[in-house]
Structures are given as C-alpha cells and as structure tokens.
C-alpha cells in the first residue's frame, strides 16, 4: 500500500497542533482578560483558541505588538485581540479589544491558559532504575530508562524524561522538568527549573596545568547551583566548579548549544543566546544579555544590565549597562564610528597610477 501523503503544509495556520499540545477552553473574553491582567469592554463572547491576525476566526484570540501589523489588524476576523492602549483605536468594530500594558507578556499567559503544559504522571516507569538510597517524591514522574543514583533527591511534581541520568547526591527542587537524554551530576537545582534534551550539567571543567612532560589534570571539586526558574536549552553544557561553585542565578534563560565553564557565576534574569561560550571564573551580574556566538574570556566581571552583541569577543571587564559590539568588543558608539569610517574609506576613489 502507498504511504499516506503528509498533511499539506499550506493548511490553515494554527497555533498549536492537537497532536502535540494540550488544549483547554473555551473561555469568555472576560475570563481571558482577567487571566492576562488586561481590561476589556467585551464580556461573554467565547474564545476557543489562538491564531495570528491573518489566520484568526471569530472564535480565536490574536494579538498585536507593533504598528507594523496594523494592516493585518484592519482585516482580521479574530474574535478578540490583545493590544496596547496606544493601538486600541485601530481594533475594528465588532472585535473585542483586551488592553494590556505588555501585549507580549499577555500573549504568553494566554498561550499557557489555552495550552497548559502536561501534568506529571506520578510514578516510576518499570524500566527506570532508582537506587535504594534515592529520595523520589511520590508525585514525581520518572520516565523510561531513567537512572536515579544513590543519595539523589527528586522534589514534588518533578518530571524526569527518558534515558536521563541524575547523579549521586543531586537535588531537584519542586516542579522541575528534566527532558530526555539529560545528565545532571554534582548539582543542586532550585524550584521550577526546566532542562531541555541533551543538556550536560556538572561535567569536569577544562582544568589542567601544562608541565615539561605534558598536562596534569586538576580535580574539579565544586558544584553547579541553579536558582529557581532557570531554563537551560537543548545540548547546552554547564561545568561544575573547580573549587568554588558554578552558579546560575534565578530566572536566567540559557539558549541551546551554550557552553558555561567552571566557576562562572551568572546573576538573576540573564539571557544567554545560542552558541555563546563563557570561559572560566567570569562573573555576569543581574540582567546581562549575551547575543548569539559571543565569546567571553576568563576571569572577567560584567556589570548589571550589560548588553553584548552577537559574535562579540569580550576580553575586558564591562561596566554596568554598557552596550558592546565587535571583536574585540567595544562600546556601540565606538564600533559604529569605526564601521562608518571604514565604509567611507572604502568608497574613496583609488588614485590614478603615476
């Protein structure tokens, strides 16, 4: 028999395919507004799903966060739209406006309202291995072929994915989600941490001494400490400390394919984008943002609120709230000044040969 053709990629745009995502609702416009902290003149119109402006129907919720999309707003068939007060005037008659101070945040809350994450299924899969000396809360879910070592502690409502390894003595706070094929060693995680597939936490740092006869590896004796609400993207690595701990502050978001070396300390609510490398013992204070493929040298101190551009190479300390670009990284003003100067020089006519 021929293989059935896959569903066309040109079928109507939907926000969450029911084959992969939970769905709840419908909710009234009033209920949605209350959930996202917005205000509305709408009341009982029923909203059953989410969709972008150009694909929404009368039972869908959509949103707008920029004037660039006013044309799409003018022609949308959405039943309700999350919108900032500055753009509320543009919502067509017949569509309920849910006015919010931050439409992006409101949309995230609405998405979780209509598509909540799956709840854990308490219990240990028959193929999982849980050491006799491990502590697993009865509400936790331990997936197929997971391995929980002696002395590990798994908090309430945690979910441990298939083929994941939790090493001896590791502690997970409540409501942590650890996806498949993860390994966690020498680590203490706070509440509500989310660790995506393929992450390696607590491996040896890159620590060795060069001698006349070769390299001598130094034992890595520290831990990895993750604060509450930390997320670590797929296939990222966080090395344990050599003597002091490697620390990831509460609320920090780490993208896929990031390398964080031993003794690094990240503050609260930092954002580390894909393919960033942070070398050993560098400290980032709170709310630092690091763009994709940037590299930070060892033993640096990066102040609060610093923004580091993509592919930047940082080799010196950075004061609070600096914006740095280029390699070697420098202030945005200096980087742009040099770029403009080089552009002008490249456009100068070449002198005629004598």
> Annotated active-site positions, please?
262
Which residues are 332's β-sheet partners?
A: none
- The DSSP symbol for 85 reads G
- CA–CA distance, 289 with 292 (Å, rounded to integer): 10
Q: Return the number of other C-beta atoms located less than 10 Å from residue 16's C-beta.
A: 15
**Pairing state between β 39-40 and 96-99:** antiparallel
Calculate the CA dihedral of residues 59, 64, 70, 76 and round it to 10 degrees: -10
- CA–CA distance, 70 with 65 (Å, rounded to integer): 10
- CA–CA distance, 181 with 200 (Å, rounded to integer): 9
- The DSSP symbol for 250 reads T
Alpha-carbon dihedral sign for residues 67, 68, 69, 70: positive
- Give residue for tokens 């503050």: 267
DSSP E strands in 95-189: the ranges are 96-99, 123-124, 129-130, 135-136, 141-142, 147-148, 153-154, 159-160, 165-166, 171-172, 177-178, 183-184, 187-189
Helix and strand element counts for the chain (H, E): 4, 40
């Amino acid at each position: 028999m021929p293989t059935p053709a896959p569903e066309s990629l040109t079928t109507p745009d939907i926000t969450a395919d029911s084959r992969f995502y939970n769905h709840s609702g419908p909710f009234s416009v009033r209920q949605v507004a209350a959930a996202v902290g917005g205000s509305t003149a709408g009341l009982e119109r029923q909203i059953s799903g989410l969709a972008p402006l150009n694909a929404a129907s009368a039972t869908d919720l959509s949103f707008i966060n920029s004037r660039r999309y006013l044309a799409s707003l003018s022609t949308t068939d959405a039943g309700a739209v999350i919108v900032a007060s500055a753009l509320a005037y543009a919502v067509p008659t017949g569509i309920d406006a849910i006015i919010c101070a931050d439409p992006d945040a409101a949309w995230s809350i609405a998405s979780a309202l209509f598509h909540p994450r799956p709840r854990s299924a308490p219990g240990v899969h028959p193929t999982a291995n849980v050491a006799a000396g491990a502590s697993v809360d009865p509400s936790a879910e331990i997936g197929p072929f997971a391995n929980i070592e002696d002395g590990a502690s798994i908090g309430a409502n945690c979910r441990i994915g298939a083929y994941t390894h939790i090493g001896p003595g590791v502690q997970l706070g409540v409501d942590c989600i650890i996806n498949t094929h993860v390994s966690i060693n020498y680590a203490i995680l706070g509440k509500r941490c989310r660790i995506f597939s393929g992450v390696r936490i607590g491996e040896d740092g890159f620590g060795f001494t060069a001698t006349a006869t070769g390299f001598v590896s130094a034992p890595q004796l520290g831990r990895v400490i993750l604060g509450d609400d930390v997320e670590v993207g797929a296939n990222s690595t966080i090395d344990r400390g050599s003597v002091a701990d490697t620390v990831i502050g509460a609320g920090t978001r780490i993208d896929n394919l990031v390398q964080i070396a031993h003794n690094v300390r990240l503050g609260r609510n930092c954002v580390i984008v894909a393919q960033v490398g942070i070398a050993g013992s560098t400290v980032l204070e709170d709310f630092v943002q690091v763009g994709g493929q940037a590299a930070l040298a060892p033993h640096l101190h990066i102040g609060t609120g610093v923004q580091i551009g993509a592919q930047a190479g940082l080799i010196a300390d950075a004061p609070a709230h600096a914006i740095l670009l280029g390699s070697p990284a420098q202030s945005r003003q200096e980087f742009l000044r040099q770029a403009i100067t080089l552009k002008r020089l490249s456009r100068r006519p070449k002198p005629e040969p004598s």
